[in-house]
Structure formats: C-alpha cells, structure tokens
C-alpha cells in the first residue's frame, strides 16, 4: 500500500487540532488503559489460585475476595479508559484502524460479545465466591480465559493495523476477494511481552495494598507481611521476565539501542531495585506509571516509523481547527476531570482507611470543597451548554 493510497484513506474532513496533540493523548490514555488491563488480569488470575487455597489458608481467605473486587473494578475502569485511545487512534491513524476493522470484522463482533460474556461471568464468579460455592474456581477460570481471549483479539487488531504492505494480500489472497472478516494475525514476542507485564503490575499493586492496609488495626501484621512478601516476590520475578521479553521484542524491531528503548530498560532496572527494597510502594507506582508511558511511547514510535516508511506522516494531516470544541474539551478535562475524579478518590481513600466506621465528608475540608466544586462545575457546564446551543440555533435558523 503506497503513500498515495494511505493518504487517500484519510478522512477528507481533516483533523480539528494539531495531530501531535492527538498522538500525545493516545500515548497517555493507552498507558492508563493498559495499566488497568494488566491489573484486572493479574488480580483475577491470582484470585483463581486464591480460590483454591482459601479454605485452608486464612491469608488467602482474606486476600481472594479483595483480589476479585479489584478485578471487578479494574475491568470497568479499563473499559472506560480504553475508549480514549480508541478515539484518538481513529483520528490520526484512521486508514490503519478502519482497514483492520474491515479485515477482521467478524472478530470485532466476537470481541464485543466475548467481553460482555466474560465480564458478566466475572460477576457470577464474584457472587459464587461470596457464597462459598465450589463452582467458583471453574466460573472464574472460564471468565478469565474469555477476557484473556479478548486481549489477544485486541493484539490482533493492533498488529494488523501496522502492516499496510500486507492488507491487500489479506483482503484478496490470490486475487480472490474475501469479505468474511476472518483475518487473524499475531506477533508472538510482542504479545508475550504485553501479557508478561501482568505479573509485575500485580506485584506492585500487592505492595500498595499491603502499605495501604498497614495503618489499619483490623488487619494483622502477619497478613500485612504475607501480602508484602507476595507482592515483592511477584514484582521482582515478573519484572525479570518482562525485561527479557522486552529486549527480545526490541531486537526483533531493531530498536534495542534507541533512546526510548534504553530509557525503558533503565526504568525497569529502577523499578526492579525499588520493588526489591520495597521502602515506599507508592513511589514505586509513580515509576511504574512512567515506565507504562515509555512502553506506550515505544508502541507509538514503532507505528509511526512503520507508517513513515510507507510515506504516511500523521503530522501532514489536513487541519481544520475547531476552537470551540477544542476549548470545551480542555476546560472540561481540566475542571471536571481533575476536580471530579479527585473528589471520588479522596472519598475512596478516606473510606478505605476508616476501619468500618462512617466517614464524615462534611468534616473533611478537602472532600467538602471538592464535592461542592464538582457540583458547581457541572451546573455551570450545563448552563454554558444550553446557552451555546440556543445561540447557535438562533444564529443558524432565525437570523
């Protein structure tokens, strides 16, 4: 597929802002999305093991339902966070995304319904475990397998999208058009690396969990120590496996000595040391976020370079700047995004620390201020929305 065709597949409406901004937002939101994908799969996978141990081991009896709850929340969050990179990739890499979707149309459909079945089964697993049913491990395992399968399908879409030289051969092998949408392709090393990240993310989460509960008197020091050790062991082992696979992936892409690849390796080494020492897991998590951003950046550089080799450059996308909608997003992101999420996280932190008593948000100045500010931001937002809408309508229909 040459540059002329790739550029022709771009949307003729152009993009409403600088492409680099969409690229940056893609890298950022993909990193956030994948963090919760990894946490969901990790906590779910370990909970399945826990479900086989919880009858005879008091530590696992406590940890397993917490892991299931973590998985449940993480799936919801990964879905909502996943919407953003899906949106931004369609803006600047629309030729890639839309071709892939058509080539693998049936898998796209299967992906959606597999995700629904997998997540609904996860709730079933949650309730079965809560009720102490013997079938819980089996239900959890099937749900886990379905959700892993969804991850593999997403991998397929990503891998197909960066091989424009093969699109026509996949669509019309030997000149015979195949509209079945059954194309399925994978890159084993890249997939193995992505899946391996489940282990260190889970390990660092367990360290966070242990640190968070260590201030609560209703959890024994024995339990705190158990989760701490488990976290450290998992994080260190997982980081070593991921590091090896990352190097293999970079060798395959011929990028091992690139700046971003070296920076990622350095980040992993720092993470490894921090996880091993486990002095402050919250700081380790900050470094983990940086490494996740670097990995997201590596993916994007691979795609950008591959497409540039085909003569496709996202920075030359036609621009029709649309200031009103751009400003709306930026202000909403800044005001509602920051204040609103901070309001809920503040409550979650306080409730989690409160050892079963009711948290009085009215006596906590920060919660009170954030809650009131969120409410007024939303009221103001609605007011502006209707005023803007009425003005536009009057302008276009009455004047």
Contact 242, 196 (CB under 8 A): yes
Query: Which residues, at least 6 apart from 318, have a Cβ–Cβ distance to it below 8 Å?
Result: 10, 12, 14, 15
- Which residue from 263, 271, 273, 318 is spatially nearest to 294, judged by alpha carbons? 263
Contact 140, 125 (CB under 8 A): yes
Query: Which residues, at least 6 apart from 396, have a Cβ–Cβ distance to it below 8 Å?
Result: none
Q: Whole-number minimum distance, CB 93 to other proteins, in Å?
A: 11
Q: Compare residues 48 and 103 and give the one whose CB is closer to other proteins.
A: 103
Q: Whole-number minimum distance, CB 274 to other proteins, in Å?
A: 28
Q: Whole-number minimum distance, CB 325 to other proteins, in Å?
A: 4
Q: Whole-number minimum distance, CB 75 to other proteins, in Å?
A: 8
Q: Compare residues 189 and 336 and give the one whose CB is closer to other proteins.
A: 336
Q: Whole-number minimum distance, CB 373 to other proteins, in Å?
A: 10
Q: Whole-number minimum distance, CB 243 to other proteins, in Å?
A: 32
Tokens encoding 129: 């475990």
Burial of 247 (0-12, 13-18, 19+ CB in 10 A): middle
CA distance 215 to 350: 12
Q: Compare residues 4 and 56 and give the one whose CB is closer to other proteins.
A: 4
Q: Report the 10 Å Cβ neighbour count for 11.
A: 13
Q: Whole-number minimum distance, CB 246 to other proteins, in Å?
A: 29
Q: Compare residues 150 and 298 and give the one whose CB is closer to other proteins.
A: 150
Q: Compare residues 8 and 273 and give the one whose CB is closer to other proteins.
A: 8
CA distance 314 to 7: 9
Q: Compare residues 209 and 226 and give the one whose CB is closer to other proteins.
A: 209
What would the DSSP string read from start to end of 88-136? HHHHHSHHHHHHHHHHTHHHHHHHHHHHHHHHHHHHHHHHHHHTT-TTH
Q: Whole-number minimum distance, CB 37 to other proteins, in Å?
A: 14
Q: Compare residues 4 and 254 and give the one whose CB is closer to other proteins.
A: 4
Contact 185, 161 (CB under 8 A): no
- Which residue from 270, 293, 303 is spatially nearest to 33, judged by alpha carbons? 293
CA distance 201 to 214: 20
Q: Whole-number minimum distance, CB 161 to other proteins, in Å?
A: 12
Residue 15: φ, ψ to 5°: -110, 150
Contact 294, 260 (CB under 8 A): yes
Q: Compare residues 121 and 250 and give the one whose CB is closer to other proteins.
A: 121
Q: Compare residues 280 and 325 and give the one whose CB is closer to other proteins.
A: 325
- Which residue from 72, 342, 302, 116 is spatially nearest to 193, judged by alpha carbons? 302
Tokens encoding 247: 């190097």
Q: Whole-number minimum distance, CB 42 to other proteins, in Å?
A: 19
Query: Which residues, at least 6 apart from 111, have a Cβ–Cβ distance to it below 8 Å?
Result: 150, 153, 154
Q: Compare residues 101 and 305 and give the one whose CB is closer to other proteins.
A: 101
């Amino acid at each position: 597929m040459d540059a002329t065709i790739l550029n022709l597949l771009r949307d003729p409406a152009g993009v409403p802002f600088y492409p680099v901004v969409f690229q940056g937002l893609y890298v950022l939101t993909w990193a956030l999305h994948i963090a919760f994908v990894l946490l969901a799969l990790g906590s779910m996978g370990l909970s399945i093991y826990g479900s086989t141990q919880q009858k005879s081991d008091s530590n696992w009896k406590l940890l397993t339902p917490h892991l299931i709850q973590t998985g449940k929340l993480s799936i919801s969050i990964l879905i909502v966070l996943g919407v953003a990179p899906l949106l931004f990739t369609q803006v600047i890499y629309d030729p890639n995304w839309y071709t892939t979707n058509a080539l693998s149309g049936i898998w796209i459909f299967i992906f959606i319904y597999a995700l629904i079945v997998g997540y609904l089964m996860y709730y079933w697993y949650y309730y079965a475990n809560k009720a102490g049913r013997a079938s819980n491990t089996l239900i959890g395992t099937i749900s886990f397998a379905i959700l892993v399968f969804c991850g593999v399908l997403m991998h397929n879409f990503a891998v197909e999208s960066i091989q424009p030289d093969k699109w026509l051969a996949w669509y019309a092998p030997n000149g015979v058009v195949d509209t079945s949408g059954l194309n399925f392709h994978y890159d084993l090393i890249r997939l193995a690396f992505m899946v391996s990240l489940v282990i260190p993310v889970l390990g660092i989460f367990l360290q966070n969990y242990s640190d968070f509960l260590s201030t609560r008197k209703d959890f024994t020091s024995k339990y705190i120590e158990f989760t701490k050790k488990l976290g450290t062991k998992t994080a260190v082992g997982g980081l070593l496996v991921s590091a090896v696979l990352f190097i293999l992936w970079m060798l395959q892409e011929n990028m091992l000595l690139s700046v971003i690849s070296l920076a990622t390796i350095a980040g992993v080494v720092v993470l490894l040391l921090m996880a091993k020492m486990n002095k402050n897991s919250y700081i380790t998590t900050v470094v983990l976020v940086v490494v996740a951003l670097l990995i997201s950046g590596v993916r994007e550089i691979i795609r950008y370079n591959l497409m540039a080799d085909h003569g496709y450059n996202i920075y030359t996308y036609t621009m029709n700047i649309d200031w009103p909608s751009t400003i709306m997003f930026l202000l909403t992101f800044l005001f509602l995004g920051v204040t609103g999420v901070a309001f809920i996280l503040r409550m979650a932190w306080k409730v989690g620390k409160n050892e079963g008593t009711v948290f009085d948000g009215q006596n906590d100045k920060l919660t009170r201020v954030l809650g009131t500010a969120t409410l007024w931001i939303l009221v103001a937002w609605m007011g502006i929305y209707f005023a803007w809408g009425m003005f536009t309508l009057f302008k276009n229909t009455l004047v």
